[in-house]
Amino acid sequence: MSTSDSAGVRAADVYVEHVHETADFIRRELPATTKIALILGTGLGRLAEEIEASSILEYDDIPHFPVSTVESHHGRLIIGALNAVPVVAMQGRFHLYEGYDAHDVTFPVRVLGELGIETLLISNAAGGMNPLFKRADMMLVTDHVNLQGASPLSGPNNDSWGPRFPDMSEPYDVELRKIAENAALAARIELQQGVYCAVTGPNLETKAEYRFLRRIGADAVGMSTVPEVIVARHMGMRCMAISVITDECFPDTLEEVSIEEVLAAAAHAEPDLTKIFRRVVREVG
């Protein structure tokens, strides 16, 4: 084994040790019956407020946990119940553009897996490229394209977490998607469907890049979610993701968008997104 290989194995061993230590810390607050986790994206904190919290842990206080540098992300782990179903929610996530690598970004998902989470529900803010989409629409993610240039599975594989080459033919659980569709239908909520493309950011895309992304099949583009889903699927979790379309990314009519406009669009969609997530949690739990 070369020196670089040895260093890689040692780093992987330390990472696994940190995951176990963090899981042990959180486990003291987490009911063993908790099987559902939520990751709440930009401006989508209303659902967190509806959780009957038994414990709230600041990311700063959790051993080895990354700390969010995004202003609109609160950076706390909420443990409690939604619709009387035990849940744990991440209010704030991590991104490659913050300077973290793919393993850092997905560290919390590894911890969730160690804690016995079986279902991961994700929300994010995304730019809509499908001409049928409008600002504040919601898109149920059916598949994704990973253009981030990094994989959270690179390096030595921990066989206790999952296989070296996990299947990704159906990353977004069909049954969970059907529950979300039915929830939207029952509440008369318009729910689009489409393919999410993950890029690194933090810069937004050029007109040429938007055209390219459309040609390869993407309906929306964002800077998160995909690494989390890859790791969750590697560990055998069922995944569902919904994107809130916070800006319209049509090359021929492209306009500059501010973070305030992004947050406003996310806030507009929050009530309907919350209804769908509550229904999914109730039926899964």
Report whether the peptide linkage leading into residue 171 is cis, meaning its omega lies within 30 degrees of zero. Answer: no
* Assigned token pair, 220: 């929306």
Domains plus CATH for the chain? 3-284 (3.40.50.1580)
- In 3D space, the residue among 104, 114, 113, 116 whose CA is nearest the CA of residue 15 turns out to be 104
* Whole-prediction pTM: 0.95
Please answer whether residues 29 and 56 qualify as being in contact, where contact means their C-beta atoms are separated by less than 8 angstroms: no
Rounded CA separation 239/153 (Å): 17
Q: Are 234 and 109 within 8 A, CB to CB?
A: no
Residue pLDDT tens, the chain, 285 long: 344 455 566 688 999 999 999 999 999 999 999 999 999 987 667 788 899 999 999 999 999 999 988 766 579 999 999 999 999 999 999 999 999 999 999 999 999 999 999 999 999 999 999 999 999 999 999 999 999 999 999 999 999 999 999 999 999 999 999 999 999 999 999 999 999 999 999 999 999 999 999 999 999 999 999 999 999 999 999 999 999 999 999 999 998 988 899 889 999 999 999 999 999 999 998
* Number of neighbouring beta carbons within 10 Å of residue 20: 14
CB under 8 Å to 106, separation ≥6 — which residues? 152, 227, 228, 230, 231
Closest CA to 198 of 216, 181, 173: 216
Cα–Cα distance, 22 to 115 (Å, whole number): 10
Return all residues near 212 (Cβ < 8 A) that are at least 6 apart: none
Residue 224 contacts residue 137 (beta carbons within 8 Å): no
